[in-house]
Amino acid sequence: MKEAQATNGSIAAPNVSIMSFPKQATCKATEAKRTGSHFTPPRLADFVARKLVTAIPPAMFNQPLEVLDPSCGGGELLRAFIEAVPREDRDTITLIGVEDNTNSLAETRRRLEEDHAKHILLHADFLELSSGFGFSPTFDSLLNGERENGQLHSPLIIIANPPYVRTQVLGSERAQQLASKFKLKGRVDLYQAFLIAMTDVLQENGFLGVITSNRFLTTKSGQTVRAFLNEQYDLLEVIDLGDTKLFSAAVLPAVIIAKKKSARSDSIAPPRFTKIYERLERVAQEPVTALPSVIDAIETGQNGDFAVGAKIFQVSSGPLVVGATANEPWRMISIDEAKWVALVDRHSKVRIADVAKVRVGIKTTADPVYIRDDWDDLPKDIRPESDLLRPIYTHFEANRWRANKPVSQLKRILYTHESSSGKREVIDLAQYPKAKNYLESHRAILEGRKYVIESGRQWYEIWVPQEPAAWLPPKVIFPDISVEPRFFIGEPHALVNGDCYWIALDSGQLDLLYLIQGVANSDVMARYHDLVFNNKLYSGRRRFITQYVERYPLPDPAGTSARTIVELVKKLNDPHCESRHAQLEDELDALVAHALTG
């Protein structure tokens, strides 16, 4: 390949070429780096590179190899890869870096020249070069020619940390473009497009080592990614780096090591997983091994607790259980943990979904207009009629067993719906002149929610009101995000905000509601939640959402164990027993453990 003008105006060294291509105006890789991607820390880059090099058959290094990083940033991953390869094998390797940011590309060149590595750097946006956009020259045209003609072979190895940018940052137009070009469904993240584009250019039987968000492992929205990886790759190893905070962004990373399938792929061993999360509670008192970093903890190859600084991290590993369909999350639990989960499943009689519906709270999409604590201070002519103002619980009131304030002290919501002949209807503002005056005073804000009007709804409606009649019975309420389970009983008639979920049952099923609350608040179910759904966020926070909570197992509601649990939960809900909560909760945990594990 001919030497090209370097991006800083100097001539590139003989072992590097920098090629520039015109770029589209929307969402350059530079923008992605600023808005959703963070460069790979050196320690993590070294770890990923070692994992990838270990997975590659040694014989592969006897042939010329192209190693591609499609969003190379400052070149940390390429640098780590060449340093992970034995020195005697490095002469066969050419490193290919694609990056839109000229300063980052210059940093990549500096790093790779220090290692005397052969490299070719492309100043471009990888997605624009990939065949998905049909841009000319396409990435395919660069990779399919002969080396002596100044072109490259399709890579056998890709190492990458692609940008992670969500739909709301990309913008709807760019998200729709990516969805169309790369046949993406649901919520679009930029890394999904990168996965597809990288797979398009990777040779059959080639190897992939990629850092990405761990969300796809367990969420419904990740099923497209799970299906794609299952179809295109033989998975070798998945490492969930959890809340280790290796990146400054609030994204929990995972590392995937995989081999691209071919028509004649050989059978491989089942994939393995490793996961590491901060342990906030200490069940055991025995001392733990202190290590310099979380990477060192993973590389011990041992399950258990490790101290890194002032924090304790729990490492577990075992066979990765890939669901029979993409709808099922990937399960990452050790053999002993899997036996415990199976024991709970065998002892359960029903799931919450079998006896109740788990609903998300109200979503107004204009909370300052609809939810206030100063309605009584408004002028009388714009103070909505009292029968439209309903108390509403938010995550701020969430506490284990009971809300932390009485219903009389809750904020109130202007609820714009009512039940008529068993059907939900929006209120007629002509019947509520004061509410009409109030809403008219905020009309510009409310009409700004164009999706409400475009869906055929009234401009003043709450976007997700749920069913008015469903608010009447007693309910169990719990926050979407919480470090510990906080399932509490809410008052009848009160509503629930969209930062919480709720389960309502009629008064005749109050004991069943107590059973659900008791099991959900137990340490047994917290462990089951972590093992089966693996959805912890930063600092030990868990997601409690419909798709998880509805799958909680319950003992036979008519059985003796359930009745004993219910009587104990009634005491935990009694304010006169508050001083005994610690003792009662220990008793509850023992009862639930007996009911669900024998």
When pLDDT is cut at 50, 70 and 90, the band that residue 111 belongs to is: very high
Q: What is the pLDDT of residue 87?
A: 93
Whether the Cβ atoms of residue 360 and residue 498 lie closer than 8 Å to each other? yes
pLDDT of res. 300: 93
Cα–Cα dist 401/517, whole Å: 8
Lowest model confidence (mean pLDDT) among 40-49, 124-133, 298-307: 124-133
Give the per-residue pLDDT at 224: 83
Question: Between 581-597 and 510-520, two packed helices, what is the crossing angle to 10 degrees?
Answer: 90
pLDDT at 222: 80
Distance (Å) of CA 594 to CA 375, 516, 562, 565, 583:
49, 16, 11, 11, 17
Q: Sorting pLDDT into bands at 50, 70 and 90, what band is 40?
A: confident
Element (H, E) at 446: helix 443-447
Structure tokens at 567: 């009587």
Confidence of residue 4 (pLDDT cuts 50, 70, 90): very low
- For 347-382, write each residue's pLDDT tens digit: 999 999 999 999 999 999 999 999 999 999 999 999
Radius of gyration of the chain, Cα coordinates, nearest whole angstrom? 28
CA angle 51, 57, 59 (to 5 degrees): 140
Question: Around 524, how many Cα atoms within 13 Å sit in the side-chain half-sphere?
Answer: 30
What Cα–Cα distance (Å) separates residue 411 from each residue in 383, 446, 475, 492, 503? 15, 20, 18, 15, 21
Do residues 576 and 566 lie in contact, with contact meaning Cβ atoms separated by under 8 Å? Answer: no
Classify residue 431 by burial, with Cβ atoms within 10 Å: 0-12, 13-18, 19+: exposed
pLDDT in tens, 401-426: 999 999 999 999 999 999 988 899 99
- Poorest-pLDDT segment among 126-140, 326-340, 421-435: 126-140
CA distance 503 to 481: 16
Is the pLDDT reported for residue 170 higher than 70? no
Window from 17-31, 39-53, 447-461, 555-569 with minimum mean pLDDT = 17-31
User: Which residue(s) pair with 542 in the sheet?
Assistant: 482
Residue 284 reports pLDDT greater than 80: no
User: Span 516-524, mean pLDDT?
Assistant: 97
For residue 246, give the nearest of 178, 297, 208, 193 by alpha carbon.
297
> How does residue 140 score in pLDDT terms, banded at 50, 70 and 90?
very low
376 φ/ψ sector (left φ>0, alpha ψ -120 to 50, else beta):
alpha
Closest CA to 71 of 203, 182, 161: 161
| Cα-to-chain-centroid distance, residue 121 | 32
How far is it, in rounded angstroms, from Cα 436 to Cα 127? 50
Quick one: which of 148, 23, 8 has its CA closest to 98? 23
Our CA angle for 112, 114, 120, nearest 5°, is 25
The predicted structure's pLDDT at residue 249: 58
> How many angstroms separate the CA atoms of 29 and 37, rounded?
9
Q: Taking 80 as the threshold, does the pLDDT of residue 8 lie above it?
A: no
- Output the pLDDT for position 395: 97
pLDDT given at position 586 = 95
Task: For residues 107-121, give the mean pLDDT.
Answer: 91
**Which pLDDT value is given to residue 3?**
30
Of residues 157 and 328, more confidence is placed in: 157
Name residue 308's beta-bridge partners. Answer: 311
Work out the mean pLDDT of the chain and round it to a whole number: 85
The answer to whether the beta carbons of residues 558 and 474 sit under 8 Å apart is no
The H-assigned helical ranges of 460-559 are 510-520, 523-533, 546-549
CA distance 357 to 549: 10
Contact 272, 316 (CB under 8 A): no
User: Rounded distance, CA 20 to CA 30, Å?
Assistant: 15
Q: Which comes out higher in pLDDT, residue 394 or 316?
A: 394
User: Could you tell me the sign of the dihedral formed by the alpha carbons of 108, 113, 119, 124, in that order?
Assistant: positive
Give the closest residue to 312 by CA, choosing from 292, 296, 288: 288
Is the per-residue pLDDT at 507 higher than 90? no
| Tokens describing residue 171 | 């913008």
**Pair of tokens at residue 361:** 């709270």
